[in-house]
A and B are shown apart, each in its own frame.
Chain A
Amino acid sequence: MTPAANQSLIPASRARAHIFYRRLSLAIALFALCSHAISMPAAAADRTLILATTTSVRDSGLLEALLPTFEEQSGIEVRVIAVGTGAALRMGREGDVDVLLTHAPSAEAKLVDEGIVIRRTPFMKNYFVIAGPSDDPAGISKADSPISAIRLIAENESRWVSRDDDSGTHKREKSLFATAGVDGHPQWQGFERTGSGMGLSLQVAGELRAYILSDIGTFLAFHERIDLKALSHPAESLKNIYSILQLDPTRFARPIASSAADELEGYLLEPSTQKRIGQFGQQRFGRPLFTRLHSKKRDP
């Protein structure tokens, strides 16, 4: 609603009302301005690196633990943009960012095949968990594999919360359902699609007493508050690999900070950083959130 629309409401004969409405519309306009103002990021400085990553990485707090040391050593300022994996990969595709840190191997492979990503380097891993209410209505804690757990949930048409947001976690959920032989777009009553991030989806699952697939970091951060339990066990099908992706700088009009991105990759693979990755989370959650990957094997 524009302030002008309010102003033209003034009955011509009422001067006092006129002034009041004018002030009111001004106030409404100011309020609208304030509430809708979007702060624009400042222009990039000389040695800055824009890193797009997923909300689950940001929410784990790992980057806050690792990046200050890197910034100090290298003099590079890292700006972290945390979005869904879909948006992060899209930003890489468009050259809006300098480097990507994601965990969606199949989607990453597509960018590698297209030549947009010139190097994909896995640097840590952990396992997804299937969480659910502690009374476990579908009895999945006794399932012998994550795949049969999914089958039990589908057979019982238990409540399930899907992120449905094309994130790395959602991609994994889809492949688990596909392997379990469940229809690719399940439609039972109680199959909810949030289209939102991990934290929000976990909250929804907690409120609805539903099952959900989650990364371990976000789950541990939320599990007490939402009263859900991890009901799965680490398995190959739940393995979650995090990689750093280097973009091909020749493809974009905007200059890509490739050398800074290389430096960040080197830092993440350093033995001392790898050791810190392997210990991260011990203090806060009583167990590490990630396992380091020593292999320097680079594909392709």
Chain B
Amino acid sequence: MNELELQTIAEITIRTLWVCGCALLLALAIGIPIGIVLGSKRFLGRSIAVSTVNAGMGAPPVVVGLGCYILFARSGLFGGVGLIYSLTGMIIAQTLIAVPLVIGITLAAVGSLDDEWNLQVRTLGIGRVWRLWLLVREIRMGLLAAVIAALGGILSEVGASQMVGGNLDGKTRVLTTAIMMKTSQGQWEQAAGLAIVLMGLTLLVAGVLTVIQQSGRTR
């Protein structure tokens, strides 16, 4: 593999991390508060909201991508904004894929806290902000699972990235779309090389998060 190819692979890898990283942070910022509210409050329509989230957790990325494409395309509702074939558009699509996963796992973690814990916290007589802080601390393992699931989901998806990003060289090409492209071009060695980078990245992320999680358990 020559220097130019390595440079291209590095560029694609950095872009992949940027898109997935932004989407993950956005999804956590949106998903965790919603998950906590859905998990701890009782209100009318809650079960509908929860089933919507559960359905969203299984939404195929390619369907989310199609939806975004229809909205972002020139003829679409947001056609004038110029989101199609842009990194911003890709980040939005991936955020939409990750948000239901974050909400679902957060709300499961909140729901798994037993009544005794709630009672204990209430007897402390502390303010709402502190109670929330204790809650987040208590469910941190669940939140880590949310991070793992969300990142795994968006790092490996190809449908939305292809449709919304368009796999444009030097602009919106990410690892998964590049693997698809190289495969369809019969350049299987290069596809395999990119696949190894993607696998390595996935293992690295999983490894780092597992180490954090293990150290959290022993405390």
Q: Which residues of B contact A35 (CB under 8 A)?
A: 60
Q: How distant is the Cα of A167 from the Cα of B181 in the complex, in angstroms?
A: 12
A89 in complex: contacting residue of B171, B186, B213, CB < 8 Å:
B186
**Is residue B166 contacting chain A, with contact meaning CB distance below 8 A?**
yes
B148-A6 in contact (CB<8A): yes
A41 to chain B minimum Cβ distance, whole angstroms, is 16
Interface 0/1 of B58-79, CB less than 8 Å to A = 1010000000000001100000
The answer to whether residues A17 and B112 also contact, given A24-B105, A195-B169, A196-B167 and a CB cut-off of 8 A, is yes
A86 touches B (CB below 8 Å): yes
Complex interface: chain A residues within 8 A of B188 (CB): 90
A1 touching B206 by the CB < 8 A rule? yes
- The answer to whether A208 and B173 have CB atoms under 8 Å apart is no
**A167→B73 CA distance, assembly (Å):** 26
Contact of B166 among A1, A14, A21, A200 (CB under 8 A): A200
Q: How far is the CB of B8 from chain A (nearest CB, A)?
A: 11
Q: Are A88 and B148 in contact (CB under 8 A)?
A: no
Inter-chain contacts of B52 with A (CB < 8 A): none
B35 sits at the interface (CB 8 A): no
Complex interface bits, B182-218 against A, C-beta within 8 A gives 1, otherwise 0: 0111111000000000000010001001100110010
Question: Once the chains are docked, how many angstroms separate the CA of A193 from the CA of B58?
Answer: 32
CB distance from A66 to the nearest CB of B (A): 24
A84 CB contacts on chain B under 8 angstroms: 184-186
Closest chain B residue to A32, Cβ basis: B152
Q: Are B74 and A207 closer than 8 Å at their CB atoms?
A: yes
Contact B210 A5 (CB under 8 A): yes
Task: State which of A11, A89, A166, A194 has its C-beta within 8 Å of the C-beta of B141.
Answer: A11
Q: Is A31 an interface residue (CB 8 A)?
A: yes
Q: Are A196 and B181 in contact (CB under 8 A)?
A: yes
- How far is B158's CA from A42's CA once the two chains are assembled, in angstroms? 26
